[in-house]
Structure 1
Amino acid sequence: MEVILVSLQSYGGFCAVTYLSFAPQGLKQVLLTGGIPPIGSGCTADAVYRACFEQVMHQNGKYYRRFPQDVELVHEVVALPGGILTPRGLQLLGLSGLGSSTGFERLHYMFERVWDPILVPGAPKRISYFFLNAVSSEKYLKLLPYEGWLAYDTNPLYALMHESIYCQGASSSWSAHRIRAENESQFDALKAVKEGRPVLFTGEMIFPWLFDEIQALRPFKDAAHLLAEKMDWPPLYDVASLNDNKVPVAAAVYYEDMYLTGHGNSFSNCRNPTVG
Structure 2
Amino acid sequence: MTAQEVSKGGYLRPGPIESFISNGLKTQDYYFDLPLNHTGTSKKETIVVFARRVIAVEKQADADKLPWLIYFQGGPGFGSPAYTTGWVKNAAKKFNVLLLDQRGTGNSTPMTVQVLSQFKTPQEQAEYFMQFRADSIVRDSELIRETLLANNAEKKWSLLGQSYGGFCITTYLSLFPDSITAAYITGGIPPVVDSLDTVYRKTYKSVMEHSEQYYKRFPMDIKRVKKIMKHLASNEVKLPNGGILTPRKFQQLGQRFGLSGGMDAVHNLCIKAFITINGKEEISSLFLDDIIASQDLIPPIYAILHEAIYCDGPGVASNWTASKLLSGEFKSTFEYSVEAFEAYEDDSSKLVYFTGEHMYDWMLDDYAYLQPLKECADILAKCTTWPKLYHPEVLAKNTVPVAAAVYYDDMFVARECSENTAKLIPNIKLWITNEYKHSGLRDDSGILTKLMKMVSDEVDIPTA
Calculate the TM-score normalised by the size of structure 1. 0.87
Distance 1:274 1:259, change over 3 A: closer
Tell me the CA shift for residue 131 of structure 1. Answer: 1.6
In structure 1, the partner of 2:285 is 129
Q: Separation in 2 of the partners of 1:201 and 1:256?
A: 16
| Matched positions, count | 257
Q: Is the 8 A contact 1:38 1:267 kept in 2?
A: yes
Q: Describe the superposition over 1:227-275 as per-residue Cα deviations: whole angstroms up to 9, x where unpaired.
A: 1001121111111211110000000122311111224474212151444
Note the residue ranges of structure 1 that are not aligned, 5 or more in a row: 137-147
Post-superposition, which runs of at least 4 consecutive aligned residues in structure 1 deviate over 3 A?
263-266, 273-276
Q: Within 5 Å, give how 1:3-22 maps onto structure 2.
A: 3-7=157-161, 9-22=162-175
**Equivalents in 2 of 1:257, 1:195: separation in Å?**
34
Structure 1 residue 129, shift from structure 2 partner: 2.6
Local SS of the residue matching 1:125: strand
- Aligned with residue 308 of structure 2, among 146, 153, 164: 164
Structure 1 residue corresponding to 2:184, chosen from 31, 39, 53: 31
1:156-212, Cα deviation, whole Å (9 max, x unpaired): 111110001100220010011112121010001226623522111111000001001
Q: Partner of 2:274: helix, strand, or coil?
A: coil
CA distance in 2, matches of 1:109, 1:271: 43
SS at match of 2:268: helix
| CA distance 1:179–1:263, change in 2 (3 Å) | farther
1:108 aligns with 2:267: yes
SS of equivalent to 1:256? coil
Pairing partner for 1:174 from 302, 313, 320? 320
Work out which of the two has the higher radius of gyration on C-alpha atoms and give 1 or 2: 2
The range that moved more, 261-270 or 105-114, is: 261-270
CA distance in 2, matches of 1:52, 1:40: 16
> Structure 1 residue 193 and structure 2 residue 341: aligned?
yes
- Cα-to-partner distance string for 1:212-236 (whole Å, 9 max, x where unaligned): 1211111111111011001121111
Q: Which residue of 2 aligns with 1:224?
A: 377
TM-score, scaled relative to structure 2: 0.53
1:140 paired residue number: none
Quote the offset at 1:18 in angstroms. Answer: 0.8
Change (3 A) 1:131 1:208: same
Distance in 2 (CA, whole Å) between partners of 1:46 and 1:149 is 27
Per the TM alignment, residue 38 of structure 1 is displaced from its structure 2 partner at its CA by: 0.5
Q: Which has the higher strand share?
A: 2
Task: Tell me: higher relative CO, structure 1 or 2? Use CA pairs within 8 A at least 6 residues apart.
Answer: 1
Aligned to 1:211: 364
